[in-house]
Amino acid sequence: MLIKVRRSWELKESSVTDEAHFRQRRRLLQAAAAAGVGAAMPAIARVSPPDEGRRLANLRDSRWGRDLEPTDYEDITSYNNFLELGTGKRSPARNADHLRTRPWSIRVGGECEKPGEIDIEEILRTIPQEERIYRFRCVEAWGMVVPWGGFSLAALLKRFEPTSKARYVAFETLYDPKQLPGQRRDILDWPYREGLRMDEAMHPLTMLVTGVYGVELPGQNGAPLRLIVPWKYGFKSIKSIVGIHFVDTQPRTTWSDLQPDEYGFYANVNPEVDHPRWSQKYERHIGEGLFARKHKTLGFNGYAEEVADLYKGMDLRKFF
């Protein structure tokens, strides 16, 4: 008899808070606060709430982030870093309609037995139920509590049977300046590239995201497929992925190439290692108000119990 053992960070599906109830409460709170501080708050572009037809099916809930109030859907989808769609925080939401997310396929190659190309619809249709995940707390360049939805990266990588030579996984974003107007400017060496060590990539908390708040991922958030490594800073979370390669040496990554003194390959959340231009000991959560208190940054973004062993014996000030 097969017995399913629930992982420490999973909850029963029945424990998920209904989104409509949450969002109604958020609006009441925001309306009450508006009279006092509304004039001082930065304008946030309105984004239509998700419709029922775009809902993702069969997601499993995680306990991570349930002790924190999720950031409002409108904030998550209107205040973004996605340079391919523009350099302003609100540019991606304005330009997202340029991005066509169907059809969409991902090329997988390198040090593996079964290289090939796979369509996003095939991935979504065939990912096992036990690999589907919902609700993680993740950090961007600013604090957001985001209920992501997706599946374990390992579930996809295993299909291509990486060999013993595969020590890292390299990722690549779509390059198409017609769809991604930010790529018409030479602000980065396009396409955007990221990478993980193999054990990081295969960790059960590392996920490929296809949705937010239980609905399909909007273009400004990296549709149709982006990476989330919840114990790392947001720039590791490469968006609109079209290429995955298994490699035997540490791959080039966009920000580590451009500013290696500021953005290390590992990008683990570490409050003891400051960015050269700002402290990383505290974070402020978007949507909490201009005068809300800052939160102490947690080592590994609160996931130390699960992931600290990956870096045992490493100097995390050197390998930042």
| 99/84 Cα distance (integer angstroms) | 10
192 near 145, Cβ under 8 Å? no
Pairing of strands 116-119, 132-134: unpaired
**pLDDT tens per residue across span 133-185:** 776 555 444 578 888 889 999 999 999 999 999 999 999 999 999 999 999 99
224 secondary structure, DSSP code: T
136 near 9, Cβ under 8 Å? no
Q: Class of the 45-311 domain?
A: alpha beta
Give residue for tokens 């017995």: 3
**What mean pLDDT comes out for the span 247-254?**
98
| 256/239 Cα distance (integer angstroms) | 17
Tokens standing for residue 266: 């590992």
pLDDT given for residue 140 in this prediction: 45
**Among 54-58, 161-165, 257-261, the least confident range:** 54-58
pLDDT given for residue 53 in this prediction: 54
Does residue 7 have a pLDDT over 90?
A: no
| 46/56 Cα distance (integer angstroms) | 22
| 148/134 Cα distance (integer angstroms) | 6
Does residue 231 have a pLDDT over 90?
A: yes
- pTM value is 0.83
Domain ranges of the chain: 45-311
134 near 59, Cβ under 8 Å? yes
**What mean pLDDT comes out for the span 191-199?**
98
- For 145, counting Cβ atoms within 10 Å of its Cβ (0-12 exposed, 13-18 middle, 19+ buried), the class is buried
Give residue for tokens 């909490």: 288
pLDDT given for residue 52 in this prediction: 56
